[in-house]
Amino acid sequence: MFKIIGNVQGKWPRLPKRTHKNKLVSSNPSVIAQQGKFGIQVDQIYTSTKLDKKSFSQYKKFVDPIGLEDIKIHLQDQVPGQMTVIHMDTARSENEYLDNNGQPLSEKQRRERLVTCFIMLDDWYPGQVMLMGSHHWVRWKKGDIMYFNWQHLPHGTANFGHNLRPMLFVRGIATDKFRKILKSKSKLKFKV
């Protein structure tokens, strides 16, 4: 399943500068293997930036309206020429999510409880595309919130345009509020 669940609007913070200290590099063995099969290195797929406490709180208020608990967010930029081949993700969470006994969630528990959404941080430009299953997503607007069933949906992205494609990668635990939003027949608007 792939769905644009809403658009969040407000005064967005400036994108933080990427430094050696806040640089995130994918360590997901399944993604590395799937990209590597075609000779694509991790630095060729996208650029991720870890948010410091101040940036996290600035962006968190844009994520809160969708009703996820224990959210983890980071920026994911794709510069012209970067791309990911169509791939499937494993339910990795770097042991950030724990069960009631303080133990890391199992793969099965992660697949049942964790939700992934993307929030676009700029309007779409020609040459930018996201593939979710067999659907090509283009023409997004800044603030659009996209949910996809990462557990079962092959996906990939490419930027063969001339502009940076920034987005917020959001992961959290599904709540009743989120499930209600997901069932909505229309694209919701959230003001922050």
CA 134 to each of CA 105, 153, 154, 156: distance values in angstroms, whole numbers, following the listed order = 30, 9, 9, 10
pLDDT in tens, 74-129: 999 999 999 998 888 765 555 676 677 877 777 777 777 788 999 999 999 999 99
**Residue 151: which CATH number?**
2.60.120.10
Q: Which pLDDT tens digit goes with each residue over 124-180?
A: 999 999 999 999 999 999 999 999 988 788 999 999 999 999 999 999 989 999 999
Within a domain: 191 = no
Domain assignment of residue 146, yes or no? yes
Chain length of the chain: 192
Q: Is residue 79 part of a domain?
A: yes
Q: What predicted TM-score, i.e. pTM, was given to this entire model? A: 0.89
Residues 145, 131: Cα–Cα separation, whole Å: 15
Structural domain contains residue 189: no
Closest CA relative to residue 75, chosen from 9, 139, 18, 144: 18
Domain count, the chain: 1
Query: Does 160 reside within a domain?
Result: yes
- 3-class DSSP state for residue 43? helix
The answer as to whether 190 is a domain residue is no
Q: By three-state DSSP, how is residue 88 classified?
A: coil
